[in-house]
Amino acid sequence: MAAEGHAPTAGEYITHHLQHWQKNFAFQDVKQTNIVDFGVFNFDSLLYTVVLGAIACFFLWRAARKAHAGVPGRFQAAVEILVEMVDNQAKALIHNESSRKLVGPLALTVFVWIFFMNFMDMLPVDWLPKLWGNYVEATGHDPHHAYMRVVPTADLSTTLGMSTFVLLMCIFYNIKIKGLGGWGHELIAAPFGDHWALWPFNFLMQMIEFVAKTVSHGMRLFGNMFAGELVFMLIALMGGGWALSGTGIGLAIGHVVAGTIWTLFHILVIVLQAFIFMMLTLIYLGQAHDAH
């Protein structure tokens, strides 16, 4: 985390925790003559996203397998409430029943998946990074260069990737519901009116709307989770600065009090952000079904 021989400063501590475990994916072609470079990936975000996505799918699959017609248990009741809430929102925003058979489960999966990714922020800040550092050190490498970020939604590439997928779904349903010609006409005929002189302005406004919705969709989730992660790091620094002195004991008490308050508040944040992302997904897909 810092150079050998001294404890990390506050800046070094935060900088270290904000670094991603990155992997460069490059492969040689079949003839072994050229290297195909796919770029640098935030491997920690990719790893946790896939693992938590699998856990979310298992959670929903398990709920479906355990469901029965009798008096539900607490787990089944909680899942039924969640499913009913998402289904009601989907019915209110998407009136095409055929589309709703796909969009409803998609929205439910998005909500549970993002909740699990957000919930990683509730783990102690140094827990998984410290374990990873110990493993790297045990394998003979420098633990100060062992980076690990465990909250995938605090990575902009993750949230923008999800919002871009929503954009692709919107394009798919625009074409499926309205036809390629109908959607193409809508792109140049709205919002200012169907006059040839307004077509360029209409098309420009439509492109700006698509880009703005996609970027804001991903940025909103990223901004809230990144800020929450940073606050937990600052609270952790308070605990790391305690000592047997008046100021040190005050830092220790402040660490416990601030950590407890922020954790309780952040529980609301992680649920709310998952709900907002799900709702915006339904709203944007619902707009793809509506004609101007």
pLDDT, residue 3, reads: 45
Amino acid found at 140: G
pLDDT at 274 over 80: yes
pLDDT, residue 32, reads: 62
pLDDT at 4 over 60: no
What confidence category does residue 119 fall into, taking pLDDT thresholds of 50, 70 and 90?
very high
Q: Is residue 1 part of a domain?
A: no
What is the three-class DSSP state of 36? strand
Q: What is the mean pLDDT of residues 258-285?
A: 94
pLDDT per residue as tens digits for the range 48-73: 999 999 999 998 888 888 877 777 78
Instruction: Please give the tally of structural domains in the chain.
Output: 1
pLDDT, residue 54, reads: 95
pLDDT, residue 253, reads: 83
Amino acid found at 157: S
**Do residues 18 and 12 make contact, with C-beta atoms less than 8 angstroms apart?**
no
Higher pLDDT, 115 or 26: 115
Residues classed as catalytic: 216, 220, 224
**Do residues 278 and 107 make contact, with C-beta atoms less than 8 angstroms apart?**
yes
What domain range includes position 158? 10-289
Q: Is residue 181 part of a domain?
A: yes
What is the three-class DSSP state of 28? strand
Q: Is residue 4 part of a domain?
A: no
Q: Is residue 5 part of a domain?
A: no
Higher pLDDT, 129 or 32: 129
Sequence-distant (6+) residues with CB within 8 A of 291 are 178, 182, 186
**Do residues 89 and 282 make contact, with C-beta atoms less than 8 angstroms apart?**
yes
Q: Is residue 238 part of a domain?
A: yes
Q: Is residue 70 part of a domain?
A: yes
pLDDT per residue as tens digits for the range 167-204: 999 999 999 999 999 999 999 988 888 888 888 999 99
pLDDT, residue 1, reads: 46
Least confident among 24-28, 222-226, 282-286:
24-28
